Structure formats: C-alpha cells, structure tokens
Amino acid sequence: MSLNIGAFIDFDPIDKDAWSQFNLIHMLAHQNEYQAMLDQGYPMSLHPLDHDLDDEDNWLGLNYTEHVSQYDVLGLSGLPDLSNVNLQDESQFHDWMLLHYQVHLKVDQTLGLA
C-alpha cells in the first residue's frame, strides 16, 4: 500500500482544515512506512508519531527524529534538516513541504511502496 502525501502538501498554511487533512495523511504515511520496515526486517525502535498541532516545535522535532531513524536504518544519506523551519512563513512552509515530501518519497521508493 502506498500513502502519498504529495497531494496534500500544497495549501495555505493558515488553512486549519488543510492542516488537519495533511496531519492525518502524514501520520498514516509514517505508520505505513513503520509497518513496512518491520515487515521487511528492519530493526525499528521508534514508534510512528502522533501529531500535536498545538506544539509545532515538538512535532517538527519528532518528525525529524523519525526520518533520521528511517534514513539510518535504510542506509540512506542526504536527509535535509527538517526540524528547523518557520511554518508561519509562507515561503519556508512551501519549501519545507516539498523537501519533506521528497523524503517520504525516497523512503517509500526504498521500501518498494512507491
């Protein structure tokens, strides 16, 4: 199963409904990747994140930690720093969304999910 967050990343950062939708799909994408890694025998210690929109710094940190762990276990390199962004800045928001989407795509491709 492939859960592609790509269709949910192009929205106005002040749109709460779009954020909710993104967060749900993104959470499912992480869970999907986590399960695929377990199924394929990768040693995963971290559990997929639950999103807390009210705590953006915490959420960004958790998401980044999880992607560091994925890249580490899968032997991938070139992970951008996803923890350091101001999502209220529209330009930074769009850059981050694209960068983060590409990270998911790389993980999904490596796992044969994409």
Interaction site with Zn ion (CB under 5 A): 63
Among residues 101, 52, 59, which one has the least CA distance to residue 80? Answer: 101
Cβ of residue 53: shortest distance to Zn ion, in angstroms? 14
Give the span between the Cα atoms of 90 and 68, in whole angstroms: 25
Cβ of residue 104: shortest distance to Zn ion, in angstroms? 6
Cβ of residue 5: shortest distance to Zn ion, in angstroms? 8
Residue showing the smallest CB distance to Zn ion in the complex: 63
Q: Which is nearer to Zn ion, 43 or 66 (CB)?
A: 66
> By three-state DSSP, how is residue 21 classified?
helix
Count the neighbouring beta carbons within 10 Å of the beta carbon of residue 83: 15
Q: Which is nearer to Zn ion, 25 or 40 (CB)?
A: 25
Cβ of residue 103: shortest distance to Zn ion, in angstroms? 7
Burial (CB count within 10 angstroms: exposed 0-12, middle 13-18, buried 19+), residue 77 = exposed
Q: Which is nearer to Zn ion, 63 or 110 (CB)?
A: 63
Give the span between the Cα atoms of 38 and 101, in whole angstroms: 22
